[in-house]
Amino acid sequence: MDFDLNEEQLAMERMARNFAEKEIIPNLKKEEFNRELVRKMGELGLFGSAFPEGMGGSASGFLAHSVVCETISTYDSGLRALFNLQAMTVPYAMMEWGCEAVRKKYVKALVSAEKLGCTCFSEPNAGSDIAAIETKVVDKGDHFLINGSKTWISHGTVADYAVVYCTHDRSLKHNGLCAIVVETNQPGWQPHEIPKLGDKASPIAEIGLEDVVAPRANLLGEWGSGFKVAMTALDRGRISVGSGAVGICQACLNASVKYANERVQFGRPIRDYQMVKHLIADMVTYTETARLMVRRGAWLNDQGRPFTREIAVAKYFAGEAAVRAAGWAMEIHGGMGYSLELPVEKYYRDSKLYQVGEGTANIMRLLIADDALGLKKANRPRLKVPGDFRDLS
């Protein structure tokens, strides 16, 4: 086993850190979506680690993607969503399941952040249960017509391109789902921002879809195979979400070590008190365990091996670790944890998402337990995707 990052991965980590110090930290307090910042991140290649060079990437791999995503999230977890929307769940799904025209038109533009992406699973009546999606697609021959509503869509208000999951026949459940690339510059795409607790750099929308049109070529995978597209996209998305959670853990640890060293009570720095040391020790342990598990999932993906089970275990644990680390950081900071002066309250607000997004903690538990109990194997042979880009010369 080699636990060391290679030179390329270390260089990318440094690049992300330098970028964050210069571009993210000065604007952190604003807690708002910043299009120019996203453009710079794309220009620097922060979203391209897992993409081949022909698709605007650096072909560095999923482990490199995880390292960059974790580093950015250590500074602002609100930017973590970009590592799915400009990488894993949007352009990567397009590259993996789309036809040549889709790959050419959308992938590079998203990876470079020249255009923005979003991914639309969730609906008012379909959250964890994706097979319950009600948004309806009708095949009109040369194009598709989509009607319905989506909610909780990250970047739904700002995205240029969306992957919309919809059904051609609800009675077929999983087997009726389709994944279709939609361009949002049409009147039927009607997003409204909804306020939320944290992750403020990443706006969320509910979206009405009224006679939204997509050309036939924009179908990802086959008609009725949208569930497979969704599952592979979510597996990859969990690499980013797990990495983001590790980033928050590290941020909480950094802040807590600094505060415990500086804050004096009863005539001594609070680091001298065993109960404070206990929290620091737990934060180190949870952070490092989560990081190792997430990186194992990313590494397996780099080897072309199944990783559904491992990344579910990692995402579940990293989400729990993030919430605990944020709570412990609040505790170590006493009243200052509750203050808006320090970023600890932001870590606390941002951390909770990691138990919800890309499959809730319960959905991860189900997947892990069903696998362990022999009820449903999580890791199946790698899906053969149509016109696999890895086979292209």
Ligand X SMILES: Cc1cc2nc3c(=O)[nH]c(=O)nc-3n(C[C@H](O)[C@H](O)[C@H](O)COP(=O)(O)OP(=O)(O)OC[C@H]3O[C@@H](n4cnc5c(N)ncnc54)[C@H](O)[C@@H]3O)c2cc1C
Q: Which of residues 300-359 bind ligand X (CB under 6 A)?
A: 353, 356-357
Nearer CB in complex with ligand X: 65/333? 65
Binding-site size, ligand X (CB under 6 A): 20
Question: 304: phi > 0 → left, psi -120 to 50 → alpha, else beta; which?
Answer: left
Cite the beta strand spans of 155-250 per DSSP E. Answer: 161-167, 177-183, 189-193, 204-215, 219-220
Binding of residue 152 to ligand X (CB under 6 A): yes
- Per DSSP, helices labelled H in the chain are 7-19, 35-44, 62-75, 82-85, 93-97, 100-102, 108-111, 226-262, 274-302, 308-333, 335-338, 344-351, 361-372
Task: Report in angstroms how near the CB of residue 9 gets to ligand X at its nearest.
Answer: 27
Four-CA torsion 131, 294, 319, 35, nearest 10 degrees: -80
Active site residue: 96, 310, 345, 358, which one? 358
Q: Which position among 192, 362, 369, 372 is part of the footprint of ligand X (CB under 6 A)?
A: 362
**Distances, alpha carbon 61 to alpha carbons 15, 87, 239, in Å:** 16, 12, 12
Q: Which position among 119, 167, 225, 351 is part of the footprint of ligand X (CB under 6 A)?
A: 119
Nearer CB in complex with ligand X: 162/283? 162
**Distances, alpha carbon 390 to alpha carbons 79, 275, 380, 381, in Å:** 29, 52, 19, 16
Nearer CB in complex with ligand X: 356/383? 356
Give the Cα separation of 267 and 323 in Å (integer): 31
Please say if 222 is a catalytic residue.
no
The three-state secondary structure class of 33 is coil
Nearer CB in complex with ligand X: 17/170? 170
Residue 172's CB is within 10 A of a number of other CB atoms, namely: 12
Give the Cα separation of 107 and 95 in Å (integer): 7
DSSP letter (8 states) at residue 383: P
Q: Which of these ranges, 53-61, 151-159, 227-235, 384-392, lies near ligand X under the rule CB under 6 A?
A: 151-159
Nearer CB in complex with ligand X: 209/253? 209
Binding of residue 360 to ligand X (CB under 6 A): yes
Binding of residue 199 to ligand X (CB under 6 A): yes
Q: Which residue has the CB atom at the shortest distance from ligand X?
A: 127
Q: Which of residues 226-255 bind ligand X (CB under 6 A)?
A: none
Binding of residue 184 to ligand X (CB under 6 A): no
Binding of residue 224 to ligand X (CB under 6 A): no
If we measure between CA atoms, which residue out of 361, 288, 359 comes closest to residue 323?
A: 361
Q: Which position among 37, 41, 120, 260 is part of the footprint of ligand X (CB under 6 A)?
A: 120
Give me the 64-103 binding string for ligand X, x by CB under 6 A, dash otherwise: ----------------------------------------
Measured at the CA of 88, the angle between CA 232 and CA 255, to 5 degrees, comes to 120
Nearer CB in complex with ligand X: 333/358? 358
Task: Report in angstroms how near the CB of residue 5 gets to ligand X at its nearest.
Answer: 29
Q: Which residues are catalytic?
A: 358
Residues that bind ligand X (CB under 6 A): 118-122, 127-128, 152-154, 196, 199, 204, 353, 356-357, 360, 362-363, 366
